[in-house]
């Protein structure tokens, strides 16, 4: 097979076809977790059922190489809670491939100072995860404004993993800190049969520094790959925010229980036919590089 034909086919491991192999941008995955069973990095006491299998940086690097993903943003795994040392060690070992987002305890008055320390260590953001029930009501509490203000002062993004029902709680914080970059993870995991809830996320479009990850279609769908029943929701977000404020993400290794890493990339790169080449360039690369510039 000659080089031209190889470029035309662009076949990846697992039979997933790579479109536009001669693209002029690098693909960056903005949402991945890593962990390892290692006594040097113990699970948090709250983690009573840790994952059975490791998800190591080396495993991830193999997947990145096989699928043409050049850089990745590692998000602190909740199994470690506020102990960010494993991700920090990964960044130290592989600085050419990764940037990292930390977690801090949102119910601790020390959270802003903890974030300052972590940013000084090299972290490029923080993630908060308020649940839907009353235990997540801290997102409305008095500890949030100082933490969000510190995040803005440090010039790192605030990531929010929260259900769509929490988006009205995010709005006043985004209003208070209009210069803070806020990234809503996984389309707020809005059920596809509740378009009314999606409106709470779409309402955040009025804040120019709010971005959305188009991910978890595999989790929300009631259909097999490529999860076409989620595309109407993605299209609404596309129409509201534009590709310049959207990004993909695998959520590896959790995606392995569904379609796997390669297809998580192919959903946006190859399958969603309402996206043009420029849209894909933004969602796979340029939007991400606005928030996490890589060397």
Alpha carbon distance 224, 222 (integer Å): 7
| 44 exposure class (CB count in 10 Å sphere: 0-12, 13-18, 19+) | middle
Identify whether 195 is part of a domain: yes
Full pLDDT tens readout for the chain, 295 residues? 443 333 433 334 444 444 445 568 999 999 999 999 999 999 999 999 999 999 999 999 999 999 999 999 999 999 999 999 999 999 999 999 999 999 999 999 999 999 999 999 999 999 999 999 999 999 999 999 999 999 999 999 999 999 999 999 999 999 999 999 999 999 999 999 999 999 999 999 999 999 999 999 999 999 999 999 999 999 999 999 999 999 999 999 999 999 999 999 999 999 999 999 999 999 999 999 999 999 8
Domain with residue 96: its CATH number is 3.20.20.140
Q: Which two tokens stand for residue 125?
A: 């953001």
Domain count, the chain: 1
Are 283 and 234 in contact by the 8 Å Cβ rule? The answer is no
Residue 18 domain flag: no
CA distances from 70 to 21, 41, 244, 271 (A): 13, 27, 20, 21
In a domain, 63, yes or no: yes
Using left for φ > 0, alpha for ψ between -120 and 50, and beta otherwise, residue 19 falls in beta
Cβ contact 13:66 at 8 Å: yes
Query: Which residue range(s) make up the domain with 162?
Result: 28-291
Is 4 a member of any domain?
no
Residue 17 counted as domain residue: no
32, 247 contact by CB (below 8 A): no
Q: Is the pTM of this model over 0.85?
A: yes
Q: Considering the domain boundaries, does residue 136 fall inside one?
A: yes
In a domain, 21, yes or no: no
Residue 274 resides in a domain: yes
């Amino acid at each position: 097979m000659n080089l031209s034909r190889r470029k035309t086919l662009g076949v990846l491991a697992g039979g997933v076809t790579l479109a536009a192999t001669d693209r002029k941008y690098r693909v960056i995955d903005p949402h991945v977790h890593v962990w390892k069973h290692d006594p040097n990095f113990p699970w948090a006491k709250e983690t009573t059922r840790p994952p059975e299998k490791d998800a190591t940086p080396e495993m991830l690097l193999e997947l990145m190489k096989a699928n043409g993903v050049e850089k990745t943003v590692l998000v602190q795994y909740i199994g470690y809670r506020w102990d960010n040392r494993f991700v920090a060690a990964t960044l130290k070992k592989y600085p050419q491939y990764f940037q990292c987002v930390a977690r801090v305890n949102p119910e601790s008055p020390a959270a802003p100072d903890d974030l300052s320390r972590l940013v000084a260590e090299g972290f490029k953001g923080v993630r908060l995860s308020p649940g839907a029930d009353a235990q997540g009501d801290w997102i409305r509490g008095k500890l949030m404004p100082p933490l969000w203000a510190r995040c803005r002062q440090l010039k790192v993004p605030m990531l929010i993993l929260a259900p769509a029902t929490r988006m009205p709680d995010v709005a006043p914080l985004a209003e208070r800190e209009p210069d803070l970059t806020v990234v809503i993870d996984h389309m707020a995991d809005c059920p596809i049969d509740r378009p009314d809830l999606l409106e709470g996320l779409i309402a955040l479009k009025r804040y120019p520094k709010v971005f959305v990850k188009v991910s978890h279609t595999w989790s929300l769908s009631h259909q097999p790959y490529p999860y076409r029943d989620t595309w109407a929701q993605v299209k609404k977000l596309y129409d509201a925010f534009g590709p310049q404020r959207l990004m993909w993400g695998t959520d590896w290794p959790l995606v392995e229980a569904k379609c796997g890493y390669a297809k998580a990339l192919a959903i946006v790169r190859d399958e969603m036919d309402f996206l043009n080449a420029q849209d894909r360039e933004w969602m796979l690369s340029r939007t991400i590089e606005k928030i996490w510039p890589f060397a």
